[in-house]
């Protein structure tokens, strides 16, 4: 017989009390100005906090407002993105800054619906900005939150590969009614998943709701869904694209095609990745056919 659903009020009290005592000091959390929160959310997609911190600080020093970034070139944004990976995020953040200037007088909007209309902003990012920057009541479902709810409420080791309607309904049912409390709950459950209820080595002994957790009560059953895929890197197009981008990003001027050979020896893969970088708008060609960052 499955363990009963944990009492919601008790979950709220324990998780929020734990968060108040153990929350990490993070620059976008300590100063949750909307643009700072937005930049952090773009940078934190598939990138750990430790790698984001130095780039975040340099970015905000250079472009402290959406208007400042919008006035720069998209190539400058890609160059400043450095080695965070997934550089299309830099293009999307630049496009979002332009849209904020054009549509919202340079201020990051505070409603989920308006945020969702910005370039590069999906469901999670819109909800996160509305909650963390503006204190709105929103269902914030990142990987960490989903894992906490899967274990504590559903009794399974990992959530489904993609967000399901049932999962969203569970998250909505757990969301406190008060806006400010709901925003704290979103941050607290994310923090719990990031530092305690981790994917590979959960620290159940440090969890404030371990005795309420269905997964723990049922003996930590192993994941029985589709195999979870690790992120391959070596030899992939993603690695190839990263090396090609680094050549152009670090250059002091246009890069001749023959100089790209040193970055990646497989000619077929190299040409395919160069074509994809051009298609994605991450690279451009000058009048002499040399590679440059977009203007």
- Residues known to be catalytic: 41
Q: What are phi and psi of 25, to 5 degrees?
A: -85, 110
Alpha carbons within 13 A on the beta-carbon side of 53: 8
Q: What DSSP letter does each residue of 193-213 carry, written as one string?
A: HHHTS-SSS--GGG-TTGGG-
CA distance 289 to 126: 39
Contact 187, 29 (CB under 8 A): yes
Angle, alpha carbons 76-81-82 (nearest 5°): 105
Q: What DSSP letter does each residue of 73-109 carry, written as one string?
A: -HHHHHHHHTTSS-THHHHHHHHHHHHHHHHHTT---
CA distance to 59, 146, 148, 268, per residue, from 210 (Å): 39, 16, 11, 52
């Amino acid at each position: 017989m499955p363990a009963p659903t944990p009492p919601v009020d008790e979950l709220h009290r324990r998780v929020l009390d734990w968060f108040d005592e153990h929350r990490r000091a993070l620059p976008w959390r300590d100063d949750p100005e909307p643009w700072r929160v937005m930049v952090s959310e773009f940078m934190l997609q598939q990138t750990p906090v430790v790698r984001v911190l130095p780039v975040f600080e340099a970015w905000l020093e250079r472009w402290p407002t959406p208007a400042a970034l919008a006035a720069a070139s998209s190539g400058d944004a890609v160059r400043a993105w450095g080695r965070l990976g997934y550089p299309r995020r830099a293009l999307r953040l630049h496009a979002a800054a332009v849209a904020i200037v054009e549509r919202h007088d340079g201020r990051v909007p505070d409603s989920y619906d308006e945020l969702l209309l910005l370039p590069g902003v999906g469901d999670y990012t819109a909800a996160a900005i509305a909650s963390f920057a503006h204190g709105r009541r929103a269902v914030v479902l990142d990987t960490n939150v989903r894992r906490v709810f899967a274990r504590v409420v559903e009794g399974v080791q990992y959530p489904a590969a993609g967000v399901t309607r049932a999962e969203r309904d569970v998250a909505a049912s757990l969301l406190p009614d008060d806006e400010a409390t709901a925003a704290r709950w979103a941050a607290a459950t994310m923090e719990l998943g990031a530092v305690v209820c981790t994917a590979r080595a959960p620290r159940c002994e440090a969890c404030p709701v371990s005795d309420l957790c269905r997964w723990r009560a049922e003996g930590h059953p192993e994941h029985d869904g589709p195999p979870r895929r690790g992120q391959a890197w070596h030899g992939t197009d993603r690695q190839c694209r990263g090396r090609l981008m680094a050549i152009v990003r670090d250059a002091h001027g246009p890069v001749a095609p023959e100089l790209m050979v040193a970055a990646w020896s497989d000619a077929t893969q190299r040409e395919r990745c160069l074509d994809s970088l051009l298609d994605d708008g991450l690279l451009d060609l000058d009048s002499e056919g040399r590679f440059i960052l977009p203007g």
